[in-house]
Amino acid sequence: MNTLNYKHLRYFWMVAKAGSVARAARLLHLTPHSVSAQLVSFEDSLGVKLFRRVGRRLELSDAGERILTHAEEIFTLGDRIVDILRDQRAVTAPPFRIGITDAMPKSLVYTLLEPALKLESAGRLICREGLLAPLLTELAIHRLDLVIADRPLPPHVSIKGYSHLLGSSPLAVFGAETLLARLPPTFPALLHDAPFLLPGEDVASRAALLQWLETHHLHPRIVAELDDSALMKAFGQAGAGLFVAPAAISGYICEHFQVREAGRIPSLKESVYAITTERQMRHPVMSAISDQARKCLA
């Protein structure tokens, strides 16, 4: 097979959506025999079975399930093109899909995205949150346009992509006032034997933080390990333990979570990366994020 037969793909898609050849044939205004013949030709050209018969019903095979996912995207986009051509007033920018790793501070992400929300030339933003590996998979198959993470594209990942450093911020230590009142006033000595919320293993700064604590002979009591930055701040606000976050958003954290900055660690940085499948960040949303990062992470 040199090229994909899109007519056959549409017949397959209709049968999968309708649940039977007969119902698909009625929707296509064709005879069931004609649809069946086209479906067999499509399977022969692909070299796989797309359906299996279970009693009187047709069920998708594993190959059929995979192909259906892409067929949905193809024909949804095709229908949208038809709508745009039918009514030029309906022309709108496509949505821009952003993946955000759990470890990224949500307030920092909002600060970076805020200018993009005001772009008239850009469509709506669709944000998905999760671990880095699944987000990179979504990026590779173009279900995401950009991933914002606290680390660059890992070297062992077999995905063609590019890491753009947006900026870095020193880490600061925060704690609830009730907790800090019980600790020594001197930083970083107050960390020793203090309850501490450790970033989870998926957080890029974790290893460097542990090394820094060991180097300074500081041994806080780890009361919890948390991947999600919002959950970390919620625990910290409740006084469960001290926690670290980028100093660049210290004012926001102190105001919104009723905590106080206990001190900063200039040698430890929280970096922010934009990971894309393109070498240059040409999209207006990407440019707006990059410009904002230069301002708030200078």
pLDDT for 90 = 44
Note whether 151 and 214 are same-domain residues.
Answer: no
Checking if the pLDDT of 196 tops 90, the result is yes
CB 100 within 8 A of CB 145: no
Note whether 119 and 176 are same-domain residues.
Answer: no
Checking if the pLDDT of 59 tops 50, the result is yes
Q: What is the DSSP letter of 191?
A: G
The domain that contains 64 carries what CATH number?
1.10.10.10
Q: Report the pLDDT averaged over residues 144-150.
A: 95
Domain count, the chain: 3
Using alpha carbons, select from 102, 152, 154 the residue that is nearest to residue 127: 102
Instruction: Give me the domain span that covers residue 75.
Output: 6-89
Write out pLDDT tens, residues 157-189. 878 889 999 999 999 999 999 999 999 999 999
Residue 192 domain flag: yes
pLDDT for 210 = 97
Q: Report the pLDDT averaged over residues 85-106.
A: 78
Rounded Cα distance between 175 and 177, Å, is 6
User: Which strand (E) or helix (H) includes residue 24?
Assistant: helix 21-28
Note whether 67 and 201 are same-domain residues.
Answer: no
Note whether 178 and 249 are same-domain residues.
Answer: yes
| Global pTM value | 0.65
